[in-house]
Amino acid sequence: MYALIKKLAQVMAVFGGLVLTFLVLLVCTSVLGRSVGTLLHGTFMQSNFADFSNWALAVGIGAINGDFELVEAGIAFAIFAFLPLCQLSGSHATVDVFTSKFSRRTNQALQMISECLFALVLGLIAWRLFAGMEAKQRYGETTFLLQFPIWWAYAASFSGAVIAAFISFYMAIIRILEAFSGQQMLPENESDER
């Protein structure tokens, strides 16, 4: 079961990485286009190369229309796409100044509590994303410039949140079993899996 869940988390992280890469390229292209567009609108280009400048502007050289709307939707998806792998590997930011002095049993109990809290919070987030998606769909809300339905971004984020919540509940169950049995059931890091 762990191998299947790990593969699911990795696939989601790859999708998140692809979306993030696309967004970086989109922003770079838009910023470059905006700079070139500003240059083409400038006094020097308009007075010396007006025909070329006007042609280039008419072709569409400039900022990408609605780039911030795509970035907003894409970043939300990417965050939720990375959460499953982060949850599975326990890669959340932690401060273990005090817990490093605790016994193994105490740390297992703390880990169990934190996994259960994560499961509840991610379940709540997934539920609220679904409710938000339904509301956006029902009212037909669209983005300002591109006019794409806002519920699409909610649906993409919801898919990542559901997988993150599922993995979080799985991890909570494993940590509960570990805390009560006193045994470690999952590998602590990649070298333990080999």
Q: Is the pLDDT of residue 83 over 50?
A: yes
Specify the pLDDT at position 99.
77
Q: Is the pLDDT of residue 71 over 50?
A: yes
Whether residue 190 is predicted with pLDDT greater than 90 in this model: the reply is: no
Q: What is the pLDDT of residue 143?
A: 93
16 falls in which pLDDT band (50, 70, 90)?
A: very high
pLDDT of residue 128: 97
Q: How far is CA 110 from CA 106, 124, 174, 182, 187, in A?
A: 6, 21, 13, 13, 17
pLDDT, position 188: 64
Q: Rounded mean pLDDT of 34-57?
A: 91
Burial 80-91 (b: 16+ CB within 10 A, else e): bbbbbbbbbbbe
Strand partners, 134: none
Beta bridge partners of 142: 149
What is the pLDDT at residue 192?
A: 41
Helices (DSSP H) in 60-149: which residue ranges?
A: 67-89, 104-139
> Structure pTM?
0.82
Give yes or no for residue 173 having a pLDDT over 70. yes
Q: Which of 183, 165, 164 is nearest to 174 (CA)?
A: 183
HSE-CB at 59 with a 13 A cutoff on CA atoms is 11
pLDDT at 60: 87
Looking at residue 193, its pLDDT comes to 45
Where are the domains positioned within the chain? 2-92+100-193
Evaluate whether 108 touches 179 at the Cβ level (below 8 Å). yes
More confidently predicted of 23 and 100: 23
Tens of pLDDT, residues 136-172 = 999 999 999 999 999 999 999 999 999 999 999 999 9
Q: What is the mean pLDDT of the chain?
A: 90
Give the side-chain half-sphere CA count within 13 A for 114.
15
What mean pLDDT comes out for the span 7-36? Answer: 96
pLDDT tier, 108 (very low <50, low <70, confident <90, very high otherwise): confident
The sign of the torsion formed by the CA atoms of 175, 178, 181, 185 equals: positive
The highest-confidence range among 15-29, 52-66, 104-118, by mean pLDDT, is 15-29
Of 40, 43, 44, 42, nearest to 57 by C-alpha is 40
